[in-house]
Amino acid sequence: MTLPDVAPNKDLYLNRELGVLAFNRRVLAMAEDESVPLLERLKYLCIVSSNMDEFFEIRVSGLMEQIRQNPDFREDDGLTASECLTRVSDVAQDMVAQQYKLLNDGVLPALRNQGIALLTLNTWNEEQAHWARQYFRHEVLPVLTPIGLDPAHPFPRVLNKSLNFAVELSGQDAFGRSSNIAIVQAPRALPRLIRMPSNLSGYEHGFVMLTSILQSFIPELFPGMEVHGVYQFRVTRNSDLYVDEEEITNLRVALQGELSQRHYGDAVRLEVSDQCTDTMTARLLKEFGLSQQALYRVNGPVNLVRLMQLPDWVDRPDLKFKPFTPGRPDALLKESDLFRAIQKGDVLLHHPYQSFNPVLDFLKQAATDPTVVAIKQTIYRTGTDSALMESLLAAARSGKEVTVVLELMARFDEEANIQWASKLERVGAHVVYGVVGQKTHAKMLMVVRREKTDSGKSVLRRYVHLGTGNYHPRTAKLYTDFGLFSCDEALGHDVHEIFNHLTGLGRARKLNKIWNSPFNLHSNVVAAVRREVEHAKAGKKARIMARMNALLEPTLINELYAASQVGVKIDLIVRGVCALRPGVPGLSENITVRSVVGRLLEHSRVFYFLNDGVEDVYISSADWMERNFFRRVELAVPITERKLKKRVVDEGLKALLADNLLAWSMDSDGHYTRRKPSSARRLNAQIHLLGLLAVNYQDEEPAGSIGEPLSD
């Protein structure tokens, strides 16, 4: 079959937005799964809400902008933005209804049976209502500002995703004014979840949401008026920042100005309580310039993300995932000095099964080591409170040459990164914001140390850490990622060159080992796929295994189709959205796609090419998307040491391919089916790896025979 040039084609490519929603359905399935601990099921419901918020803020807002600016444009899947938005709205409405039904009919009743109750106003007894009224009058009322709508009081500016109430009323106020609508905004300083004393709640853990308290007592804000209804609502706005990097002279200053407007972007979604009248919803939709398609009625609080606090406040280990202690590689157990350990050979870390602390310790040791002369690091996301950043600050204060390539345009982390940039600059560190138009997404750290050889000669040696995940201590406990420590001269040279690309000027020079975008990562991956094609044509075994978060780049998808057609066996593990259609006769029957969704967020990127038995294995920061190949600075790092290569293949690929408890198989239409054990053997890849790498971890769920070789 001769493949056409890349062009919109629904027979070749699946829709990205529908793929994102399909991923969130798989997350929602974790909340539906009664074998998952109960408080964790509540967390998954909250995670779906958080994911959907970002989906509307970024993806749906992009569709609406496309409809305004270029309505006839068709994406790779052949859909216009309008067609896509219609399909997305139908799926999203169904998912939201399913989510609230599960909350109200499944999770909350099950929690009550365990002594954990979310008490809503329609269930309060007299004493509970009295307590709630007192809480309202003392803790809430003093900070509320009711706004009656009239010519002198227009509709207030409503913050993105803030909690608000629309009030229907009648009568005249103290000034003789008549108004039938008022708006009450809940200040963000107020807690959304409030613990009720157990002697009043009747439960060991009783909670009330601020939503219920406001719903019940807002009428007290309008004395002498008749209140007919109080309805919660929340508006979601376009949160994608636009900064024309070619037209500005100071990216940080421009970004700070744009951040202040993020909360007031164009409205893209309106959520209201299901009791809200048609008259009020019509008024709100008109106010925000939205169509009926953007309206979501919910049976419960409009922001489920706020319930994420509840599991943290409840000390019930039996209702949560079993805790684990991350392990350490043998090389680091035998040698406490990290530089000495790395000198003996490359060290591979697999987070969170293995601890992220060696990375923190490496930087901390470098900051205080008198023989270290320079530290260079890329930062994409690291959080507002980071021991890693504190080590960089300490190193700069001690006089070391510290250079940080800090990505200011990391979505939703812009403000934290701006703050870190200011702190670093104040202590004398060099802070660079990367390259205009190219986000720096690569994960790399280099320490330059002055050492003496056996002959007594003084030399500079480079130590590097290269990984698939962000330098973020908190997410390193939740996301699966690989990281490699090395003092290999060729890798050190490559990392040095890449930092020079980012901080200086000059043409990119050829690297020894690393593939990097936007220069040769895409072309090298394509060449590796084509090499497997040539092996297959020559009658040799050919195999590709790859793992990533998203697969969307159409040229590479076409190359994979071509490889499938000559018999190359291709197994893809794509956590999120995948535009490739697997299993299509004559096109992709040799390609499988699966997604693994479990306790931990699968985040590693691993590429494997059999290459006639050589087995080329790379860990990478890049997904197979256009932005990663052509509009970002990304790395793919070869794993060459035999034992480490085997570890990456076994732990990063084969374990997930063998999973039959967390894995979902994708069909050619983009539908996913959860895999089921076909025999007595049950394998949960994440539990398998916890048993293999964490400290003395055992779980009741059979994970397969730990240490048993995993089949291809």
Show the CA angle centred on residue 373, arms to residues 367 and 377, nearest 5°: 65
Q: What are the distances in angstroms from CA 45 to CA 58, 192, 375?
A: 20, 17, 41
Q: Would you state the structure tokens that stand for residue 543, as one six-digit string?
A: 């195999």
Q: Name the E strands within 605-662.
A: 605-609, 616-620, 632-638
Q: How far apart are CA 400 and CA 396, in angstroms?
A: 5
Among residues 485, 300, 495, which one has the least CA distance to residue 378?
495
Specify which residues 295 forms β-bridges with. Answer: 270
Residue 298 is inside which H or E element, if any? strand 295-298
C-alpha dihedral, 24 to 25 to 27 to 28, nearest 10°: 120
Q: What are the distances in angstroms from CA 348 to CA 249, 494, 495, 573, 643?
A: 41, 19, 17, 21, 10
> Is 133 labelled a binding residue?
no
Q: Would you state the structure tokens that stand for residue 680, as one six-digit string?
A: 């007595």
> Is 44 labelled a binding residue?
no
> Is 68 labelled a binding residue?
no
Show the CA angle centred on residue 185, arms to residues 296 and 257, nearest 5°: 90
Residues 6+ apart with CB under 8 A from 537: 566
SS3 content of the chain, % helix, strand, coil (to 5): 40, 25, 35
Of these residues, 441, 465, 522, 688, which one is catalytic?
Answer: 441
Q: Is 441 a catalytic residue?
A: yes
What is the amino acid identity at position 55? F
Among residues 21, 79, 82, 80, which one has the least CA distance to residue 52?
21
Q: How far apart are CA 118 and CA 110, in angstroms?
A: 11
Three-state secondary structure string covering 649-660: HHHHHHHHHHCC
> Is 479 labelled a binding residue?
yes
> Is 51 labelled a binding residue?
yes
Distance linking the first and last C-alpha atoms of the chain: 28
Q: Would you state the structure tokens that stand for residue 571, as one six-digit string?
A: 């197994």
> Is 112 labelled a binding residue?
no
Burial class (CB in 10 A: 0-12, 13-18, 19+), 188: exposed
Residue 630 is inside which H or E element, if any? helix 626-630
| Residue numbering of the annotated binding site for ATP | 51, 479, 575, 603
| Residue numbering of the annotated binding site for Mg(2+) | 381, 411
| Residue numbering of the annotated binding site | 51, 381, 411, 479, 575, 603
Residues labelled as active-site residues: 441
